[in-house]
């Protein structure tokens, strides 16, 4: 009799162990692996809300009347909060810089974007612009300083957008940051103001 009880107890224990193990396996099978769940779709980091995009577009069109806005994005050259890529009525591609109050602050030639982060970065230059040296550099800077007395020259280089062969980036005595275009005969043609760096 004791032997029979002992066998029954062992059988019950074995069945209990199997039951627990089965539950554990079932529990594991019912738990979805985190890696099996596809990651949530991420919005494009440069994408704007519909409201912001509309305001940036309006600012760009006010700055460049008659242009077609190709796209609007957050960020941009010289630390600007927003920018719009536009095509003018005569086919020129331009970038309109827009500040945090949705006012267009500057327009520059759109050299395209060969890859993410390409083009001109904050305070950066186009890939095909090269620093000036020697006599040419001296003459360009002399013309710029004659036009903007007391300005600090940040850099002087070739200009790739075709409006002038040379450009000089300066900071005026009142704190404005300008890109000054200079002709081949060293005459200041015009200047574009860029949002000051924070």
Q: Give the tens place of pLDDT for each residue, 97-132.
A: 888 899 988 888 876 543 333 344 434 455 567 898
Q: How far apart are alpha carbons 70 and 121 in whole angstroms?
A: 20
Q: What is the largest CA-CA distance in the chain?
A: 119
Q: Rg of the chain's alpha carbons, rounded to an integer? A: 32
The predicted structure's pLDDT at residue 162: 65
Which residues are 106's β-sheet partners? 97
**pLDDT of 35 above 80:** no
188-194 vs 82-87, strand pairing mode: unpaired
Q: State the DSSP code for 92.
A: -
The predicted structure's pLDDT at residue 10: 53
**Could you tell me the strand order of the sheet in which 93-98 lies?**
68-74, 82-87, 93-98, 104-109
Residues 171-188, mean pLDDT to the nearest whole number: 91
The predicted structure's pLDDT at residue 46: 58
pLDDT, tens only, 123-162:
445 556 789 899 999 999 999 999 999 999 999 999 877 6
Token pair of 184, please? 């081949």
| Sheet strands (E) in the chain | 68-74, 82-87, 93-98, 104-109, 152-158, 166-171, 177-182, 188-194
The predicted structure's pLDDT at residue 154: 92
Residues 72-99, mean pLDDT to the nearest whole number: 82
Percent of the chain with pLDDT over 70: 63
pLDDT, tens only, 5-26:
555 555 554 545 444 444 444 4
CB 125 within 8 A of CB 134: no
Cα angle 57, 159, 108 (rounded to 5 degrees) comes to 5
**pLDDT of 36 above 50:** no
């Amino acid at each position: 009799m004791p032997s029979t009880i002992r066998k029954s107890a062992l059988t019950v224990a074995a069945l209990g162990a199997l039951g627990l193990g089965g539950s554990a396996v079932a529990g594991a099978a019912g738990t979805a692996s985190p890696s099996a769940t596809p990651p949530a779709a991420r919005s494009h980091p440069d994408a704007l809300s519909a409201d912001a995009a509309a305001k940036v577009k309006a600012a760009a069109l006010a700055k460049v009347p008659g242009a077609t806005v190709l796209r609007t994005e957050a960020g941009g050259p010289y630390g600007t909060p927003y920018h719009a890529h536009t095509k003018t009525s005569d086919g020129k591609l331009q970038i309109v810089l827009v500040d945090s109050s949705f006012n267009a602050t500057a327009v520059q030639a759109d050299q395209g974007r060969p890859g993410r982060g390409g083009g001109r970065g904050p305070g950066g230059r186009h890939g095909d612009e090269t620093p000036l040296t020697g006599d040419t550099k001296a003459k360009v800077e002399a013309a710029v300083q004659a036009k903007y007395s007391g300005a600090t020259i940040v850099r002087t280089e070739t200009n790739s957008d075709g409006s002038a062969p040379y450009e000089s980036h300066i900071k005026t005595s009142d704190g404005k940051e300008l890109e000054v275009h200079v002709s081949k005969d060293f005459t200041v043609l015009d200047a574009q103001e860029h949002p000051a760096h924070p």
